[in-house]
Amino acid sequence: MDYILKTSAGKVTPCDEAIALRRIEEDPSIQISRPGTNHWIYGKSFLEFGDLAFDDTSFRVPTVVSDLSKTSLLITAETVPPYTIASRLGVVVSERVASIGALKELAIGLSDIIGNTSATIHKELEKTRNEVLSDLRRQAHSRGAQGIIALSLSYTSIEGKGTLMLLVTGYGTAVTFAGETDS
């Protein structure tokens, strides 16, 4: 017995993988669980993701919405299971420069000396990164996109005239998805 199936009527049946796959293909709304757990997933998710669908920490089906500014559907991969990419709307790019003044540099230097990571630099990076991601969402949404795939972020330090600056660059491909989406 590899799995337990539960029908929409609530009937629970233990079965092996072959029987589970056959039953799920007949009715994708059947729920499936592993013996000894109380974690149920839908058969459709199991067909698409296999055992990965049971992993709470890494399996998340993104929700596609028509307004990209309302979602965090920013994907570093080229594919977005269970969705199919309908169209690629072009590359979106955003760049932001974060200036770190003399006081911030002093705080960073002191934390480097005593071996701690600098909360100051982390806050500045997080703020700038969020600005880049928000800009990417706005650009993609203005093109009618429902998501951004192949997202990449890079960080570059720029030094000059006694000031440290950080350049945060983000880019990806704006896309629409085939099939049903939420509005």
Q: What is the pLDDT of residues 98-112, one digit of tens each?
A: 876 644 555 555 554
Average pLDDT of every residue of the chain: 75
Q: Which amino acid, one-letter code, is at 11?
A: K
Q: What pLDDT sits at residue 180?
A: 47
Question: If 0-12 CB within 10 Å is exposed, 13-18 middle and 19+ buried, where does residue 34 land?
Answer: middle
pLDDT at 95 over 90: yes
Q: Looking at per-residue confidence, does 178 or 71 come out higher? A: 178
pTM across the whole model: 0.55
Name the 3-class secondary structure at 29: coil
For 2-48, what is each residue's pLDDT tens digit?
888 888 788 888 998 888 888 888 887 888 888 877 778 878 777 76
Ramachandran category for residue 63: left, alpha or beta (phi over 0 → left; psi -120 to 50 → alpha): beta
Domains of the chain, by residue range, sit at 3-54, 68-178
What share of the chain has pLDDT > 90, as a percent?
A: 13
Q: Rounded to whole angstroms, how far apart are CA atoms 150 and 88?
A: 11
CA–CA separation, 167 vs 163, rounded Å?
13
Range 68-178: architecture per CATH: 2-Layer Sandwich (3.30)
